Each structure stands twice: as C-alpha cells, then as structure tokens.
Amino acid sequence: MISILDIATNNIKNPMFKLEHYFDIYDKYFSKYRNTPVRILEIGVCDGGSLDLWREYFGDTAIIYGMDINPSVKRFNTQNTRIIIADQQDREYLEELFTDEPPFDIILDDGGHMPDQQKNSFEALFPLLHKDGVYIVEDIQTSYWKSFNGGLRKSNTFIEFSKQLIDYINVDHFREEDNLLLYLPLKTALQTQLTSVNYYDGMVVFTKGNKIRKDGIHYYGNGITKKESISLYN
C-alpha cells in the first residue's frame, strides 16, 4: 500500500503546506481507517491539496468535509467531498451546523491557528467526534508567536488550554474537592470520553473512547488476580 508521504509527493494535483514529520503522525492515528467509509472533517481547505491527500489515502468510500471561511474553496466540492463555508471561531454556529450529521471519526484543525479559533472549534466539535475518534490540532507552534496572540506560558493560548485537559484523563483519581478546579466547558464529555492527549512538534492529538472507572488496585501474581482493598482515592 502506498505510503502517505508518497501520496503527498506524487499523487495530489493541488498544493499544500505541511511539516514533513506530520505524515508519520497522521499514519499512526489514521491508518486503521484506510479503505473504510471514514468520516473526516478538516478545518482549513486553502489550495485543496490536503483534500486530495485524504481522498487518495482513505479511498473512494471516505466521506470528507472541508471547512473554510473563504468562499472560493467551494470549487473543491464533489459528491463525497463536501465544502462548508463557516467561521471556525463561531462556536454556536459550529454546534448547530452538524446537529443532524453522524459523528466524525477524524477532526483535523488546520484553520486560522489563532487561540480563540482553536479553542472554540474544539469545544464545539469534540462532542461530535465518534466514541473512538481522533481530534488533531496542528501548527500549535503559533501558541508561541506574538503575531498569533501567543507567547511562552501565555494563558490564552491553545497549548496552555490543552494542558488543562490532561487532568481529565486522571479524573478518577481526584479528591471530591479537586473536581471544582476543572475546566468547566465540556466537563462531562471530557471526564467520560477523553482517553489521551498526545503532544508532538507542532501538533496535539486527542483521542476519544469510553472510559471505565479505575476502581482500586488489583493484585497480579502466583496464578491469581484479585482486587485489593487499598483505595486509590484517599
């Protein structure tokens, strides 16, 4: 099977701009969806090259949505590639836009790269992700750039926002009073469905799943497994 990098190099007709190490990350999370009717939403269409990439990589049965604020990208609309003109910063509109749609398996934010855009899109769209889906925000290096309202440890950036979400992975181990300190939007969805936050150079990947409460320590050894009375929640 042709690699995603080979597809990007040789099999797309429209241009795109990507950091080369992104392709291995894509393949790590996306390969299980190849040649399936995967549903993917990409924010940021630009010159249409990434839409070509996903079509070649996932195959003809993939259902691809491209969202952009620029009306000129409507030219990339086809039967299985739907183009939506929308402002990713408009959270309320995004929440309504896909109300009657099945969940997405993959959501990829390669849009405007401004902190409010990234946060509003995540809060609106993470609940619309399939229970085993993947949400990627790329080019998060803009969180450190003043031209994108960023800066190291600046509280309004997406990178700092994403760090808060790590706590939801370990929420089963909180004391009761700790729950009051959690970031409140999407609290229920994040507590029950966010299974990992993975950081890469320029990219953060969130995975979703049905979390099972980790209730106590189990003893393993000597051919037996038993639950110990020691609690993890003291």
What digits encode the pLDDT tens for the residues 60-119? 999 999 999 999 999 999 888 999 999 998 888 998 898 888 999 999 999 999 999 999
Architecture label for domain 4-227: 3-Layer(aba) Sandwich (3.40)
Which of 177 and 194 is assigned the larger pLDDT? 194
**Of the candidates 215, 207, 173, 214, which has an alpha carbon nearest to the alpha carbon of residue 190?**
207
Looking at per-residue pLDDT, the higher value among 127 and 107 belongs to: 107
Residue by residue, what is the 3-state secondary structure of the chain? CCCHHHHHHHCCCCCCCCCCCHHHHHHHHHHHHCCCCCEEEEECCCCCHHHHHHHHHHCCCCEEEEEECCHHHHHHCCCCEEEEECCCCCHHHHHHHCCCCCCEEEEEECCCCCHHHHHHHHHHHHHHEEEEEEEEEECHHHHHCHHHCCCCCCCCCHHHHHHHHHHHHCHHHCCHHHHHHCCCCCHHHHHHHEEEEEEECCEEEEEECCCCCCCCCEEEECCEEEECCCCCCC
What was the pLDDT predicted at 198? 97
Respond yes or no: is residue 113 known to be catalytic. Answer: yes
Query: For residue 233, what pLDDT band results from cuts at 50, 70 and 90?
Result: very low
| pLDDT at residue 143 is higher than 60 | yes
Handedness of CA 177, 178, 181, 182 (dihedral sign): negative
Residue among 129, 126, 130 at smallest CA distance from 162: 126
Give the long-range contacts of residues 56-59, CB within 8 A, separation 24 or more.
Answer: 56/2, 56/7, 56/11, 56/12, 57/4, 57/7, 57/26, 57/30, 58/30, 58/33, 58/34, 59/34, 59/35
Task: Give me the amino acid identity at 54.
Answer: W
pLDDT digits (tens, 9 = 90+) for 144-189: 999 999 999 999 999 999 998 888 887 777 766 666 566 656 667 7
* Rg of the chain, C-alpha, whole Å: 20
CB 217 within 8 A of CB 229: no
Of the residues 113, 130, 173, 218, only one is catalytic, namely 113
User: Residue type at 181?
Assistant: L
